[in-house]
């Protein structure tokens, strides 16, 4: 601890808590060792501890003096300092067993001119267009703040793509599509983005906004070449475990970053707080949450006396459901998110290992509408035959003073995960959700007897793009630090 104490003073109860946290997080301690200048000075009265991290320009102000608040502060210090260690030391370090390969490299350390992040965007639908719009709007301000440029140099759709020269991304303003398109070729797109980064001495980054497996097959290749990858696409994190491991290994070997916060909660921070707790040495006992905005809306709206099929029809009319409502009611999307969180906790689960209690009646799972009929509308008509069965469930819950919620859960103790329709008391946090909220509760050693709860909008193009945009800014920040 001498290098830390030499750079600042650590006093009061936070000394013990920070030192204890370091002892319980040897990987983090090892990663922090070379970067004494990045370590926090912690001062302040017991009633109002303040953590100052001068090299990162961040101040964490935590009111109160309870152990949980002190530990949260210590966890935050460790998280920022660990990132700083990777930035200052430029070492390809990872945190074993934590799911994400949080590594980086120094490709821009000797660059001349302005450090630049070159983006390749795969998927140009609602989320892709919103992301590019956010990037273009924020680029001038971020350059003024950090001295780092960001530019989109390639965009791919399902059938076509455009490769742009430096400064050419203004052609994408307002969701426009440039005229110089060519057939989509993700191999060629990757080469173009990497070449742009090599030419400027900057860094490459790919963003996958699709729900397809095809781009995920390129993640390892891009990461190994030193490019970071950010995505809301759940296919890599919940797909074959062997591919998932290969992606993390490629990030470690390439000194790059695989960023996937938006896969679980869109713009809602779920993975990052979990990673922070794990790195700081907390032990997660259970994770449970409502991970579908569509199903959250349905169960927040549905009350005793209402027909379940009418609520599904309402959700469909308001655009919450997929064209085929079975894609939502089946629970598969929730199972993918639960699989991602389970792997974050070190469980080597496949998607097929997660049992799902589908809300689609067995007789309708393979059902098809008559020729020419609208699939969604026809399905809702068929669902009416099961209203009495669903009414019995909600009436029984109401009689017991409970509500119904469709939840996903991970149990690290048993190494299992599940997706089901559960009943919760009306004073439970899950009963207080509104509209289409997502919510997740982390039961941990530190957060007891009440769990750490994260709640808010978990769906929509704007918030999903915002979550990915946050990952872009993270990489820009590391680029700034590596060239400082």
Q: What is the pLDDT of residue 77?
A: 55
b/e map 332-365, b = 16+ CB within 10 Å: bbbbbbbbbbbbbbebebebebbebebbbbeebe
- Mean pLDDT computed over 99-105: 34
User: How confident is residue 73, by pLDDT bands cut at 50, 70 and 90?
Assistant: low
User: How confident is residue 68, by pLDDT bands cut at 50, 70 and 90?
Assistant: low
- The whole-chain average pLDDT of the chain stands at 82
Both tokens of 359, joined, read 């809300």
For CA atoms 128, 129, 133, 136, the dihedral sign is positive
pLDDT over 70 (residue 69): no
Q: What is the pLDDT of residue 10?
A: 39
The answer to whether 276 touches 447, Cβ cutoff 8 Å, is no
Q: What is the pLDDT of residue 76?
A: 54
Both tokens of 327, joined, read 């894609």
- Mean pLDDT computed over 350-378: 96
Question: With pLDDT > 90 as the criterion, what percentage of the chain qualifies?
Answer: 71
Strand partners, 150: 117
Edge-to-edge strand ranges of the sheet holding 116-122: 182-183, 160-163, 149-156, 116-122, 203-208, 228-230, 258-259
Active site residues: 337
Q: How far apart are the first and last CA of the chain?
A: 26
Q: What distance in Å separates the CA atoms of residue 65 and residue 417, rounded to the nearest whole number?
A: 35
pLDDT over 50 (residue 52): no
pLDDT over 60 (residue 335): yes
pLDDT over 90 (residue 433): yes
- Least confident range from 71-80, 270-279, 461-470: namely 71-80
Fill in the DSSP letter of residue 356. Answer: B
- Least confident range from 9-13, 380-384, 389-393: namely 9-13
SS3 content of the chain, % helix, strand, coil (to 5): 50, 20, 35
User: How confident is residue 70, by pLDDT bands cut at 50, 70 and 90?
Assistant: low
Question: With pLDDT > 70 as the criterion, what percentage of the chain qualifies?
Answer: 76
Query: Backbone phi, then psi, for 152, in 5-degree steps?
Result: -90, 120
Both tokens of 328, joined, read 């939502």
Strand partners, 453: 441
Higher pLDDT, residue 62 or 295: 295
Fill in the DSSP letter of residue 432. Answer: G
pTM: 0.78
User: How confident is residue 44, by pLDDT bands cut at 50, 70 and 90?
Assistant: very low
pLDDT tens readout for residues 149-166: 999 999 999 999 999 998
Q: What is the pLDDT of residue 113?
A: 79
Both tokens of 73, joined, read 């502060």
Higher pLDDT, residue 194 or 64: 194
The answer to whether 107 touches 56, Cβ cutoff 8 Å, is no
- Mean pLDDT computed over 446-462: 91
Q: What is the pLDDT of residue 482?
A: 72
pLDDT tens readout for residues 167-189: 899 999 999 999 899 999 999 99
Both tokens of 112, joined, read 């001349």
């Amino acid at each position: 601890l001498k290098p830390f104490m030499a750079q600042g003073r650590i006093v009061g109860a936070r000394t013990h808590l920070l030192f204890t946290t370091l002892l319980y997080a040897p990987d983090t301690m090892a990663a922090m060792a070379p970067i004494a200048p990045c370590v926090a000075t912690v001062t302040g009265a017991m009633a109002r501890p303040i953590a100052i991290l001068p090299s990162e320009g961040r101040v964490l102000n935590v009111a109160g003096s309870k152990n949980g608040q002190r530990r949260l502060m210590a966890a935050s210090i460790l998280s920022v300092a660990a990132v700083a260690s990777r930035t200052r030391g430029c070492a390809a370090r990872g945190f074993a067993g934590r799911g994400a390969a949080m590594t980086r490299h120094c490709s821009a350390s000797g660059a001349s001119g302005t450090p630049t992040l070159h983006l390749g965007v795969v998927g140009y639908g609602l989320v892709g267009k919103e992301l590019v719009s956010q990037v273009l709007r924020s680029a001038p301000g971020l350059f003024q703040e950090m001295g780092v440029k960001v530019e989109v140099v390639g965009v791919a759709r399902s059938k076509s793509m455009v490769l742009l020269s430096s400064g050419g991304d203004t052609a994408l303003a307002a969701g426009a599509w440039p005229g110089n398109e060519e057939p989509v070729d993700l191999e060629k797109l990757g080469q173009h983005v990497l070449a742009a980064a090599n030419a400027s001495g900057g860094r490459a980054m790919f963003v996958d906004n699709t729900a397809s497996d095809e781009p995920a097959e390129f993640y390892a290749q891009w990461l190994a070449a030193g490019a970071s990858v950010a995505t809301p696409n759940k296919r890599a994190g919940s797909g074959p475990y062997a591919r998932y491991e290969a992606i993390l290994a490629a990030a470690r070997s390439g000194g790059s970053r695989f960023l996937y916060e938006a896969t679980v909660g869109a713009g809602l921070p779920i993975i990052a707080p979990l990673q922070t707790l794990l790195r700081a040495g907390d032990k997660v006992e259970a994770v449970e949450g409502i991970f579908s905005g569509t199903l959250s809306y349905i169960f927040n709206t549905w009350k005793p006396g209402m027909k379940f099929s009418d609520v599904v029809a309402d959700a469909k009319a308001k655009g919450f459901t997929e064209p085929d409502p079975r894609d939502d009611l089946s629970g598969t999307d929730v199972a993918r998110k639960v699989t991602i969180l389970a792997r974050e906790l070190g469980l080597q689960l496949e998607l097929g290992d997660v049992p799902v209690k589908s809300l689609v009646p067995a007789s309708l799972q393979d059902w098809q509408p008559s020729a020419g009929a609208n699939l969604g509308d026809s399905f809702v008509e068929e669902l009416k035959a099961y209203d009495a069965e669903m009414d019995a469930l909600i009436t029984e819950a109401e009689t017991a003073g409970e509500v119904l919620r469709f939840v996903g859960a991970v149990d690290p103790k048993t190494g299992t995960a599940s997706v089901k329709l559960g009943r919760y008391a009306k004073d439970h946090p899950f009963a207080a959700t509104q509209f289409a909220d997502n919510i997740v509760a982390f039961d941990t050693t530190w957060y007891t007897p009440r769990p750490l709860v994260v709640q808010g909008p978990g769906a929509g193009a704007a918030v999903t793009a915002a979550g990915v945009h946050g990952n872009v800014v993270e990489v820009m920040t590391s680029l700034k630090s590596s060239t400082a």
